[in-house]
Structure 1
Amino acid sequence: MIAEIAPADGPAGIRVIPLGPEHADQVLTIYQLGIDGGQATFETTAPGWEEFDAAKLPGHRHVALDADGRVVGWSAAVPVSDRCAYAGVVEHSVYVHPDAQGRGVGLALLRALIASTEAAGIWTIQSGIFPENTASLALHRRAGFRVIGTRMRIGRHHGVWRDVVLVERRSPVVS
């Protein structure tokens, strides 16, 4: 049995459960839609499932399902370093299908990620967000993340230098 991990105050008709291989095609489609939008990542194509699966931490991968069981969003985390001093720090991604944006799906996914990481003793969740992605920045503020700075012209995206806003959430319960 798959345990539902969405908080009771999540969006109506949306369940958040662990991401598994049965969700691969829908997750990678949503990832590619985010990539195609041009404001989510420096990536230009979604990886294959084997590469995606190998990179993401087990236990910190979630999907949001609509009432019909379709994946409408996902979140996942990766370690920021293999150095033991950073064992409690992860970098995360959260992607919501364009048709499901603005309905609380992203917040439900972030809450599930926060719950799973805190249960595992992870004390910091971080990410880099393009400053033009104002919806993602607002979502992260609602989920308790803070802006820690901006990396100016950190990388080229389709030949254009892009800035990245660094956000983090430090757990108040993991010390």
Structure 2
Amino acid sequence: MAQVTVRPMSADDANRVLAIYQAGLDGSNASFETTAPTWTAFDAARLPQHRFVAVDGDGAVLGWVAVSPTSTRPVYAGVVEHSVYTDPAARGQGVAGLLLDALITSTEAAGIWTIQSVVFGENTASLRLHQRAGFRVIGVRERVGRHHGRWRDVILLERRSPTI
């Protein structure tokens, strides 16, 4: 992939990050959410030290990855849930894989031992991406929520660090 780099996300990336997020939500297989949050809400819900964007040679944001804590209980301090989104025009070019690699490096350096994700079963590209990155299927949560008027299942995935 020519000239795509990954760097920490900043507030200057807010408009592109939220636009990419909304594009993913508009596809109907990315999340139960239907509208991207405000930057203030996005920022408050995600750990600042584990947010990255992939940019092209011109500095345009092509995708992002970020994590949220799964619990406030101290015993779960090493467990996070992540989201990864790619601009529709950049899908299939390895952007999400680069972002997951950066996230895994960052979280392991910080002592995080488990990264979780939930993915709709219809999102086969995301499932393949996660399996390539070392995630495994933990189980299926059946009819866990309604999305666009119908019940949806999600697949729970996790990656356990082999070094922590």
Give the paired residue count.
Answer: 164
Q: 2:54 aligns with which of 51, 64, 73?
A: 64
Q: What percentage of aligned pairs have identical amino acids? A: 65
Mapped partners of 1:85, 1:59: distance in 2: 20
Pairwise CA distance, 1:12: 2.3
- Which consecutive unaligned segments of at least 5 residues does structure 1 have? 1-10
Pairwise CA distance, 1:158: 0.8
Mapped partners of 1:94, 1:82: distance in 2: 22
- The answer for the alignment partner of 1:75 in structure 2 is 65
Mapped partners of 2:66, 2:2: distance in 1: 22
Q: Is 2:137 the partner of 1:147?
A: yes
Pairwise CA distance, 1:68: 1.2
Q: 1:87 aligns with which of 73, 77, 81?
A: 77
Stretches (4+) displaced over 3 A: none
SS at structure 2 position matched to 1:59: helix
- The answer for the alignment partner of 2:102 in structure 1 is 112
TM-score normalised by length of structure 1: 0.93
Mapped partners of 2:47, 2:96: distance in 1: 19
Please tell me the root mean square deviation across aligned C-alpha atoms, in Å: 0.5
TM-score normalised by length of structure 2: 0.99
Pairwise CA distance, 1:115: 0.5
- The answer for the alignment partner of 1:5 in structure 2 is none
Write out aligned runs for 1:10-21 (5 A).
11-21=1-11
Pairwise CA distance, 1:67: 1.2
